Structure 1
Amino acid sequence: MKARKAVHIKLLYNDPGDFPLIEHILDGVFLCDLQGNLTHANSTFCKIFSYSKNEILTLNISSLYSGHHKSNFTQDFKELTFYQDTYCERIFLNKNGNPIPAKIKLQLVNSNCIRGIVRDLSELRHTQEELKFKDEFIHEIAEIIEDVFFIINAGTGKILYISNAFQRIWGKSLESIYKKPHTWIDSVHPDDKEKTTERVVTQIKTGFFDADFRIIRPNGEVRWIHARAYPVYNNKGEIIRSVGVAEDITRRIETTRQIEQERINHINSINQVLDELVSAMGSALEHRDPYTAGHQRNVATIACAIAKEIKLSEKQIKGLQIAAELHDIGKIGVPVSILSKPGLLSPAEFQLVKTHAQIGYDIIKGVNFPWPVATIILQHHERLNGSGYPNALKDDEILIEAKILAVADVVEAMSSHRPYRPAIGIEASLTELERNKGTLYDSKIVDACLYLFRKKKFTF
């Protein structure tokens, strides 16, 4: 027995000194005779099958084949005899009866000896099963969700996987996109194609993609898409795939637009009510003081024109308009006899008239306007040099809206009839502004007013 084993070992290894190396290689190595009786096995072979070396050498190789693979034993050896060697994958059983998937190479050493190399595939099969499960799981999830799930080869641009949602959203077959991966962009709306193409170029470089765009389905229907993709790296840090999702956001876009339109309609409705309320308050004053009928509306028209000329924001102009239409609301607190007095006012009467700015502020300050309406009303009689009222403010202490209102008020008041004097005229009022530019009135605002009336022939 020992002599036969020694012969087999020599046949297996050209130099017996190589035995220690073979003993500890990761593959199982064995020798057997033509009937399959094992005569030698290295440590790895014994470990694979959970036998000791003494136990393994009492076995026939056929006993290690699993039940439905036992019939392959004779065929494997028969082919070996005929072809000299053979490669195959078989299911074996270890000592505990557990299946061992393995790749086996059988080689005829001579007419009396067979050498075999066994590689345990258990870990590989386990990994493959896990990957298969994960792959199937991902595919199942991808088919359940309503969005398009896709995996793209970063090097070739080939689509490795795309879910069925593509057919429903794009209206094209999966076969078409697999054959021509880049044709999805042909469906992109012409107005969005350039931007989307730029994002694709970026994706090729970075693996990242994030864009909203429209597509046109074969039936002409337009859909909004939000697509995003992320890179997958190998262990060298190289991008090998892009994984992403394309979502149909048409309903979301339409809902957002509807909500926005409703919001705009609501704001417009509120603004309309506000304008009507402001107009009603102005009308109430005009009924009390018919000599200034239309004055506040005219002042508002002039003030807004000046504000546009000096490029105030739309928000500031709206606040100025409301303040201008209410700037004399405080005259409600001034006796009608003084407001309609045909002659010059006494110093005491003029002091009483001057209270209208503070009264107007007190009336309006409780209204939560999104603009400083009350403060504009309070300051519309202030002057740059501090000679105005009620607080003798100077230049930077005065809101720009109040400075505009002051100029517009002077133009309208001087060019309109009053109980105590006839109308002086537009040109006279402009001359008054020009003379006091930089002293009483803001130079930039006066210049804008002069330009409006003298160059643009503005009227109110």
Structure 2
Amino acid sequence: MSEHLIKTAEVPKPVGTTGQGARIGVVLAVVLLLSAGIVLLAAQAVRDRKAEVLEHQQKRFELLTQGRTEVIASWLENLSRQGDRLIKSDLFRLYAAEVDTYAGDLSNLFGTLHSNRATEDGDAATLTEQLPMMENTLREFSTYSGFLNARILSRQGEAYIATDGYLPPMNQEQIALASAAIKANGPQYSSVRKTAQGVEMDVFVPIYPPEAVGRTDGNSDRAAVGVLMMTRQVSGKITELLSNSPLAAAGEKTRLMQKSGSLFREIAPWTADGFTDVSFPVEIDETGHIPFGVRPSIANDDTKVYSLGVRIPGPAWWLVQEISYDAAMRPIVEYERTVYIVAGLGILTALLIAGLAWWILTGVQSQRVAKQFRALATQIEEQKLFIDSVNANIEEFIVLKDLNGKFTYVNEAFAAAAGRPREELLGMDTAAVFGFDTAKRLESIDEMVLGEKRKMTVNEPIFIRSRRHLFQVAKSPYLCADGSCQGIVEVYRDMTEFVAVQEKNKRLVRNAMEALGSTIKAADPYLGGHTKLLAGLAVEVAKAMHLSALEVAEIETAANLSQIGKMFVPNEILTKPGKLTPEEKGVMEKHVEYAYRILKDIDIDESVLMAIYQMNERLDGSGYPKKLKDGEILMLARILAVLNVFCAMIRPRSYRGAEEPAQALNILSGDVGKFDPEVVAALADVIHTPTGEKLLADKE
């Protein structure tokens, strides 16, 4: 809503020349005072704007860092919980408890397997005989869970089981963290370090004796009897966690800082060293955080930034959100320029008003000014009627509520939907219109809007006249000039038809995919069965490799469409027994281009299209159509490359029989230069799962 405030001055009666000169002097003095006041107000406005922008920037940083800190804390907690499958096993609990009660030297204990001490110490012999089985179990857990290695430590910090076949010495930090895990009855995390494999860190989780089984808090009345130490390569995960958010503004960076002794270092897995030393003193407040303020960038690149750091629970890490000083000050500089331009125009306007006042004092333009005021009043009234007309024709529901939740204003659209006159709705509350349950959900948002004085948007299903609608509800605090909150402005946008159209479009896309699959199968029954098996195995392999839900959906779509280009290859080449001639091979390889031409104009994701286009490439550059190598090939295409060849080998063709899955895997494993070994390993795991076995059983 816009308002125009017009102030009129009383026109004095005509006076003599002497009185007129005095009044002109007064007018000039007033103009000078107004000009000085305008300049002071402009300077104050710039200061207020700067404070407002920086306060907004600080709140943004607090929200961004809070969200990312929660994600990192959740990731760290998940790392420690991955050891639950092992340390909650009665076998490991009992073994660790027995080792803990052993009074002798652990190095002698586990040397009895190769000496005559086994006959001298029965307990030691029993523990030593179980050692190979425990090592194998620990190794299987480490491989399955994605850790580089793992160890089992005694309460004194001595390692007696390791996945890497030997027990290398631990540094002082690792020994201290193992002890801290036992004392704190909870997981501990080491500082990250740079190795040849990338950036690594250790996770220490206490192991409790069998009596601890059944506790819901993970602790025990008895002390822990050992520690599980797990080493994880975290380069990729940290890089992913620090990648720019869509909410990040220009010039913003998210960085991770670690304290090593008395020094602070930025964790930068993408660099050669993996770390960057922080060259300036770091200010840590009493809460353990880095307050918002101006300081050098922790990247040590001589950049001046506004930054804020949040201490991450667990390791000695701080998540630091930065924005360059120039980027932060840009809106303030632009605002300052605009304010002083407006101030200049204001001073000029004051001079013009002074001239107009002098003219009015002479009495020459008094009648014309009065006429102009009447015309302005008419214009204002017309504008008010226009705004009322626009408001009456808005389809969205607009509501104003007071602090007690009572309606003080509703527009015509809201009244029509509620089926009541506007006057009747005034003074009612949300429960009277939408029902108690819906009102309770909406009013819980009201408390946050009023308490935090910020806008919030939610999607809510709401029944109106027994019909379900899906509304996008935007709630904003209604503030007075002094900043006090007088109520809430709500805008309801009906998203029901929009959501229905989206669902319909999804169904149409799925139907189109199924139709294309049927077309492929009609062109060549071998390709149809091949495509079905390829899609099923590709989804399972993608899940086994921990790809995101979006990537799993993309690879399924790509697999279903991967053979469409072969419909345009002559059938005598597709089904020819024996080796193809170079000319026939060239014709066959054109199926990739055919598929690209068909699919590029269809509304599918670019990653799906490129996965289909690259699935015949090989890591050593021997594939087609572009002879791409290793890092140039997308992960989705690498998965399809392995699965496409595997499915082709285990299914019969008109010119040959089928290979056994194990034999096909051996062939793929042997071509280490062509196929991604990580994908081949994941496929080997998948075909031994119930789902993989069912897919292979149904491959015909």
TM, length-normalised to structure 2: 0.35
Q: Take 1:333 and 1:278, find their aligned partners in 2: how far apart are those partners? A: 16
Shift of 1:449: 1.1
Using a 3 Å threshold, how does the CA distance of structure 1 residues 390 and 332 change in structure 2: closer, same or farther?
farther
Contact 1:357 1:378 in 2 (8 A): no
Instruction: Specify which of 282, 285, 290 is matched with residue 524 of structure 2.
Output: 282
Kindly provide the CA deviation profile for residues 208-243 of structure 1, in whole angstroms up to 9, marking residues without a partner as x.
6765545556x6555666465552425xx1426347
Shift of 1:138: 12
Corresponding residue for residue 688 of structure 2: 454
Contact 1:411 1:429 in 2 (8 A): yes
2:592 maps to 1:361? yes
2:687 maps to 1:442? no
**3-state SS of paired residue (1:384):** coil
Instruction: Specify which of 279, 303, 322 is matched with residue 561 of structure 2.
Output: 322
Shift of 1:151: 5.6
Shift of 1:442: 0.7
Contact 2:478 2:488 in 1 (8 A): yes
Corresponding residue for residue 428 of structure 1: 663
1:354-433 correspondence to structure 2 within 5 Å: 354-369=585-600, 370=604, 380-388=615-623, 392-417=627-652, 422-433=657-668
Shift of 1:396: 2.1
**1:403 is matched by which residue type in structure 2?**
R
Using a 3 Å threshold, how does the CA distance of structure 1 residues 365 and 327 change in structure 2: closer, same or farther?
same
Q: Take 2:619 and 2:627, find their aligned partners in 1: how far apart are those partners? A: 9
Using a 3 Å threshold, how does the CA distance of structure 1 residues 410 and 397 change in structure 2: closer, same or farther?
same
Consecutive unaligned residues in structure 2, runs of 5 or more:
1-9, 14-377
Consecutive unaligned residues in structure 1, runs of 5 or more:
1-46, 51-129, 287-291
Q: Take 1:390 and 1:143, find their aligned partners in 2: how far apart are those partners? A: 59
Using a 3 Å threshold, how does the CA distance of structure 1 residues 275 and 405 change in structure 2: closer, same or farther?
same
Q: Take 1:430 and 1:174, find their aligned partners in 2: how far apart are those partners? A: 73
Shift of 1:318: 0.7
Kindly provide the CA deviation profile for residues 428-460 of structure 1, in whole angstroms up to 9, marking residues without a partner as x.
112222333x43321121012111212332412
Contact 1:207 1:242 in 2 (8 A): no
Corresponding residue for residue 206 of structure 1: 453
Shift of 1:281: 3.6
Q: Take 1:429 and 1:360, find their aligned partners in 2: how far apart are those partners? A: 24
Q: Take 1:246 and 1:377, find their aligned partners in 2: how far apart are those partners? A: 45
Q: Take 2:663 and 2:642, find their aligned partners in 1: how far apart are those partners? A: 13
**1:321 is matched by which residue type in structure 2?**
N
Q: Take 2:628 and 2:397, find their aligned partners in 1: how far apart are those partners? A: 66
**3-state SS of paired residue (2:620):** coil
Q: Take 1:362 and 1:224, find their aligned partners in 2: how far apart are those partners? A: 44
Using a 3 Å threshold, how does the CA distance of structure 1 residues 228 and 137 change in structure 2: closer, same or farther?
farther
Kindly provide the CA deviation profile for residues 167-225 of structure 1, in whole angstroms up to 9, marking residues without a partner as x.
6544679898766x6564783563673354223442365386765545556x6555666
Using a 3 Å threshold, how does the CA distance of structure 1 residues 205 and 139 change in structure 2: closer, same or farther?
farther
Using a 3 Å threshold, how does the CA distance of structure 1 residues 185 and 199 change in structure 2: closer, same or farther?
farther
**1:359 is matched by which residue type in structure 2?**
K
Shift of 1:424: 3.5
Corresponding residue for residue 552 of structure 2: 313
**3-state SS of paired residue (2:597):** coil
Shift of 1:367: 1.9
Shift of 1:416: 3.9
Corresponding residue for residue 231 of structure 1: 478
Corresponding residue for residue 340 of structure 1: 577
**3-state SS of paired residue (1:446):** helix
Q: Take 2:646 and 2:611, find their aligned partners in 1: how far apart are those partners? A: 18
Using a 3 Å threshold, how does the CA distance of structure 1 residues 359 and 190 change in structure 2: closer, same or farther?
same
Kindly provide the CA deviation profile for residues 294-330 of structure 1, in whole angstroms up to 9, marking residues without a partner as x.
4455445444543454333312331232114656964
Q: Take 2:453 and 2:615, find their aligned partners in 1: how far apart are those partners? A: 60
Q: Take 2:423 and 2:440, find their aligned partners in 1: how far apart are those partners? A: 23
Q: Take 2:489 and 2:615, find their aligned partners in 1: how far apart are those partners? A: 61
Q: Take 2:636 and 2:488, find their aligned partners in 1: how far apart are those partners? A: 56
Q: Take 2:417 and 2:654, find their aligned partners in 1: how far apart are those partners? A: 75
Q: Take 1:222 and 1:318, find their aligned partners in 2: how far apart are those partners? A: 33
Shift of 1:277: 3.2
Shift of 1:389: 5.6
**3-state SS of paired residue (2:559):** helix
- Further displaced range: 200-209 or 169-178: 169-178
Contact 1:320 1:401 in 2 (8 A): no
Instruction: Specify which of 444, 447, 454 is matched with residue 197 of structure 1.
Output: 444
Instruction: Specify which of 497, 509, 513 is matched with residue 267 of structure 1.
Output: 509
**3-state SS of paired residue (1:231):** strand
Shift of 1:399: 3.9
Contact 2:400 2:408 in 1 (8 A): yes
1:50-61 correspondence to structure 2 within 5 Å: none
**2:620 is matched by which residue type in structure 1?**
N
Using a 3 Å threshold, how does the CA distance of structure 1 residues 184 and 418 change in structure 2: closer, same or farther?
closer
RMSD: 5.2
**2:562 is matched by which residue type in structure 1?**
A
Give the greater-gyration-radius structure (CA). Answer: 1
**1:278 is matched by which residue type in structure 2?**
I
Q: Take 1:159 and 1:406, find their aligned partners in 2: how far apart are those partners? A: 62
Contact 1:306 1:452 in 2 (8 A): yes
Kindly provide the CA deviation profile for residues 260-299 of structure 1, in whole angstroms up to 9, marking residues without a partner as x.
344334434433443333334435xx6xxxxx88445544
Using a 3 Å threshold, how does the CA distance of structure 1 residues 335 and 450 change in structure 2: closer, same or farther?
closer
**1:426 is matched by which residue type in structure 2?**
P
Using a 3 Å threshold, how does the CA distance of structure 1 residues 374 and 281 change in structure 2: closer, same or farther?
farther
Using a 3 Å threshold, how does the CA distance of structure 1 residues 299 and 184 change in structure 2: closer, same or farther?
closer
Instruction: Specify which of 441, 463, 486 is matched with residue 241 of structure 1.
Output: 486
**1:450 is matched by which residue type in structure 2?**
A
Kindly provide the CA deviation profile for residues 380-411 of structure 1, in whole angstroms up to 9, marking residues without a partner as x.
55432345566654322334344333322433
**1:427 is matched by which residue type in structure 2?**
A
Using a 3 Å threshold, how does the CA distance of structure 1 residues 431 and 166 change in structure 2: closer, same or farther?
closer
**1:241 is matched by which residue type in structure 2?**
Q
Contact 2:475 2:489 in 1 (8 A): yes
Using a 3 Å threshold, how does the CA distance of structure 1 residues 242 and 397 change in structure 2: closer, same or farther?
closer
Instruction: Specify which of 246, 254, 266 is matched with residue 496 of structure 2.
Output: 254
Contact 1:200 1:209 in 2 (8 A): no
Kindly provide the CA deviation profile for residues 15-46 of structure 1, in whole angstroms up to 9, marking residues without a partner as x.
xxxxxxxxxxxxxxxxxxxxxxxxxxxxxxxx
Q: Take 1:375 and 1:144, find their aligned partners in 2: how far apart are those partners? A: 50
Contact 1:214 1:222 in 2 (8 A): yes
**3-state SS of paired residue (2:486):** strand
Contact 2:455 2:474 in 1 (8 A): no
- Further displaced range: 170-179 or 199-208: 170-179
